[in-house]
A and B are shown apart, each in its own frame.
Chain A
Amino acid sequence: MSRVIGIDLGTTNSCVAIIENGQPSVIPNAGGYKTTPSMFAVTQDGKRLVGHLAKRQAITNSKHTIYAAKRLIGRRFDDGEVQRCIELSPYSIVRGQNDDPRIEVGGKVFTVTEISAVILKEMKRVAEEYLGEPVREAVVTVPAYFNDAQRQCTKDAGRIAGLEVLRIVNEPTAAAMSYGFGKNLDEKIAVYDLGGGTFDISILELGDGVLEVLATAGDTFLGGEDFDRRVVNHLIESFQETEGIDLRDDAMALQRLKDAAEKAKCDLSQRETAEINLPFIASDSNGPRHLSIELTRNSLEGLVHDVVQGTLKTVEQCVKDAGLEPSAIDQVILVGGQTRMPLVQQAVADYFGKRPHKGVNPDEVVAVGAAIQGDVLVNKDESMLLLDVTPLSLGIATFGGHFAKLIERNTTVPVRKSHIFTTTRDNQSAVKIRVLQGESEQAIENDLLGEFVLTGIRQAPKGEPEVEVAFDIDANGIVSVAARDLETSKEQSITVNATGTLDEGEIQQIIEENELYEVAVK
């Protein structure tokens, strides 16, 4: 029987897990690490680096090291989020032919899907090395707020990586599954997810085997990296005070500072003090200069206190959006490596008035949940599945710029619903249907998934012809639309391609290019 792996494709770090002998097992990479940085780089001489190697030169080779591609996947170039990435990223983000953002490094332009595929391929390789056999199927997780285009692109990335993605699962759902929250519970769960690059808070309601997302909120530009940055700035300022040298413009020094800051931050989750020693960090006419600073847990907490408090404001709003009080939350789950920090754990516990669950490592919990889902799918025990829901309403644009919902958010998937539409002008022989996803009553404020034109409608006074449009969301949360002229019984076959996704030809081309590259490397 083929093995199914569960992959947490994270913004900053990814993780892969599998069920072995009925128990979830997180798979370490060759270096012994259970998470792998979601980074891809091209060196000056054209070598490709992935994971830990890419991270270790991310600052010295910043223009050609890609990180946080997840912030861009499935989006359009003009999206506000993409524009913010362009401002903040040292690598070049350009407009692609599908109006999607693409990344140019090492003299080549990559689609975001391709970059995600590189990371997934690395996780596939890690699993295959560990298991000693090929792996072809996976369950991959995505944030609960990901729309159709983002989910489709993630699936495409899996395909390019040589994986059949059996299911796309929401991250908070996977986290809940890893704690064994199953069919027989009726609870409200808060999932506080503070990862390397993003913060997400989800309030879920579990009942009758359905996990409903009541509300989600977060900040896609807030995570552990911000904590590291605060420590780095502190080290730079201390060094400048004692040695009179500013390390800010020294890429090699910054790389060392970043690595040391992150290590010290992690150490301080276990200890009260951490020594940071960076010999020969700089030199001047008087010779070499060494950085040697002791950082205490108190100092670190002082540096990041406002960041942690900021997350609680977002939590507060999310709980309110869910129509609840903090005391109504039955369970709190921590996700993301940054939640190991005692300050974060205490802040969350104080807010909800209860200690969060700590049985599963927070940076592994999503991958474990994905592996559990995968195992259930392979064993075809659908009764054990927690059903997901679509996080966003689905509908079409109607006359006057309005949005007509056909499928409400939080509807259990898979689901199929249809509606009858008609013409708005006399003798109208074609209708343009714009498929949208979102919550606004104004069509223009929602995300466009795709649009198509249905032709061949009988010429008649407006309001007479009947066109049945059916919307279908599969278990992965991916949307397809079909239309039928009820009078003629003619069926129009239409495919909704989410804007920004790759077409089949592009996917095949990328697969072939990557295979060629693999052969060349061998």
Chain B
Amino acid sequence: MSELDAEEIRRLMAEGLDHYALGQADAAVACWRRVLEITPDHEEARDYLRAAEVDVEPLASETPRADEVGTLELTTPADAPPPAAPVEATRPDLAPSEGGDPRIDDADGRDPILAEAVALVRRGGLQEAIDLFETVGADDPDALELHAYCELARSRLVRVYRDRVGSVDRVPRLRISHDEILKFNLPAQAGFLLSLVDGATPTRSLLDLAGMDPFEGLRALSSLLDAGILEVAA
């Protein structure tokens, strides 16, 4: 790749994020598609397009991603999964990312927090990336690129959660007894969502009733399904 192309790609990627942060999704997608015209295997552009809910042709070399779903902190007596290592808010001494993408390692071209978040996303840690943004980026409303990437990761995660939950017209119901539920370690939000499940109300209405951010509602519901507390009737 020529120096000019590399520079053009950097510009297009950043411009796309700026557009996305301002709600100009079409313009953002156009920038990233342009990147793929220059370099069809550009991982980050492909990530951004998927997150923006745009279909991208799979590469022959693409490997399945690791589990991207952040889970609730669940502990059961038998098989508590080890909690994921928490992501530190600041990591100035970044290790090279997988794949050796020169843009991540370029200290001049990328904010280190954004670089770390991008790396997390590419490793499958969507929720960790979002947590990082919200911890570090929440206080900096001018960090447009950071916020835009956070929104992209959320969009992507919402899609994952939607796929997990299935059709919103289906009806979730309790799968285990009240005493068994008490063995879990659920946050109050999940408890509230559980209280709305009555075996007759479809997912669509549950999310309306919960009054939560759709991302939070779907995340909580997805986690309850993963934990086996709920099941969804056909």
Quick one: which of A53, A57, A277 contacts B178, CB cutoff 8 A?
A277
* Chain A positions within 8 Å of B200 at CB level: 31
- Asked if residues A287 and B188 are in contact (CB atoms below 8 Å), the reply is no
- Asked if residues A53 and B182 are in contact (CB atoms below 8 Å), the reply is no
- Asked if residues B196 and A56 are in contact (CB atoms below 8 Å), the reply is yes
- Asked if residues A288 and B186 are in contact (CB atoms below 8 Å), the reply is yes
- Asked if residues A281 and B191 are in contact (CB atoms below 8 Å), the reply is yes
* Chain A positions within 8 Å of B210 at CB level: 57, 60
Q: Which residue of A lies closest to B205 (CB)?
A: A53
Q: B208 near A: Cβ within 8 Å? A: yes
Q: Which residue of B lies closest to A253 (CB)?
A: B188
Quick one: which of B191, B209, B211 contacts A280, CB cutoff 8 A?
B191
Q: A328 near B: Cβ within 8 Å? A: no
Q: B194 near A: Cβ within 8 Å? A: yes
- Asked if residues A53 and B208 are in contact (CB atoms below 8 Å), the reply is yes
Q: How far is the CB of A249 from chain B (nearest CB, A)?
A: 13
With contact pairs A43-B208, A57-B211 given, residues A252 and B182 touching in the complex (Cβ less than 8 Å): no
Quick one: which of A45, A47, A256, A287 contacts B195, CB cutoff 8 A?
A256
- Asked if residues B185 and A43 are in contact (CB atoms below 8 Å), the reply is no
- Asked if residues B190 and A280 are in contact (CB atoms below 8 Å), the reply is yes
Report Cα–Cα, A250/B187, bound state, in Å.
13
- Asked if residues A290 and B188 are in contact (CB atoms below 8 Å), the reply is no
Q: How far is the CB of B4 from chain A (nearest CB, A)?
A: 45
List residues 150-193 of chain B with CB under 8 A from any CB of chain A: 178, 181-182, 185-192
Q: Which residue of B lies closest to A289 (CB)?
A: B188
Interface 1/0 per residue, A268-307 and B, CB below 8 Å: 0000000001111111000110100000000000000000
Quick one: which of B181, B192, B208 contacts A252, CB cutoff 8 A?
B192
* Chain B positions within 8 Å of A250 at CB level: 188
Q: Which residue of B lies closest to A54 (CB)?
A: B209
Report Cα–Cα, A62/B92, bound state, in Å.
45
- Asked if residues A49 and B188 are in contact (CB atoms below 8 Å), the reply is no
The interface centre, meaning the residue of B182, B190, B195 with most chain A CB atoms within 10 A of its CB, is B195
Quick one: which of B185, B192, B205 contacts A256, CB cutoff 8 A?
B192
* Chain B positions within 8 Å of A283 at CB level: 187-188
Interface range for B: 20 to 34
Q: How far is the CB of B100 from chain A (nearest CB, A)?
A: 42
List residues 11-26 of chain A with CB under 8 A from any CB of chain B: none
Report Cα–Cα, A6/B181, bound state, in Å.
45
* Chain A positions within 8 Å of B188 at CB level: 250, 252-253, 280-283, 288
Report Cα–Cα, A44/B213, bound state, in Å.
9
Quick one: which of A57, A259, A279 contacts B182, CB cutoff 8 A?
A279
- Asked if residues A288 and B187 are in contact (CB atoms below 8 Å), the reply is yes
Report Cα–Cα, A255/B189, bound state, in Å.
12
* Chain B positions within 8 Å of A44 at CB level: 211
Report Cα–Cα, A2/B8, bound state, in Å.
73
* Chain B positions within 8 Å of A290 at CB level: 182
* Chain B positions within 8 Å of A287 at CB level: 185
Q: A29 near B: Cβ within 8 Å? A: no
Q: How far is the CB of A281 from chain B (nearest CB, A)?
A: 6
Quick one: which of A53, A282, A288 contacts B209, CB cutoff 8 A?
A53
Q: Which residue of A lies closest to B181 (CB)?
A: A279
* Chain A positions within 8 Å of B182 at CB level: 279, 290
With contact pairs A31-B200, A256-B195, A290-B182 given, residues A280 and B208 touching in the complex (Cβ less than 8 Å): no
Q: Which residue of B lies closest to A64 (CB)?
A: B211
Report Cα–Cα, A319/B187, bound state, in Å.
54
Report Cα–Cα, A45/B204, bound state, in Å.
12
Q: A499 near B: Cβ within 8 Å? A: no
Report Cα–Cα, A53/B207, bound state, in Å.
11
* Chain B positions within 8 Å of A53 at CB level: 205, 208-209
Q: Which residue of B lies closest to A32 (CB)?
A: B200
* Chain B positions within 8 Å of A476 at CB level: none
Report Cα–Cα, A43/B205, bound state, in Å.
11
B residues near A, CB below 8 A? Answer: 178, 181-182, 185-192, 194-196, 200, 205, 208-211, 214
A to B CB contacts below 8 Å, 23 in the list: A31-B200, A43-B208, A53-B208, A53-B209, A57-B208, A57-B209, A57-B210, A250-B188, A252-B192, A256-B192, A256-B195, A277-B178, A279-B181, A279-B191, A280-B186, A280-B188, A280-B190, A280-B192, A281-B188, A281-B191, A283-B187, A288-B186, A288-B187
Query: Which 7 pairs, one residue from A and one from B, show the smallest C-beta to C-beta distance?
Result: A280-B191, A252-B192, A60-B211, A57-B209, A280-B186, A56-B209, A283-B188
Q: A44-B211, A252-B188 are in contact. List 17 more A-B contacts (CB 8 A).
A: A53-B208, A56-B196, A57-B209, A57-B211, A253-B188, A253-B192, A255-B192, A256-B192, A279-B181, A279-B186, A279-B191, A280-B187, A281-B188, A283-B187, A283-B188, A287-B185, A288-B185
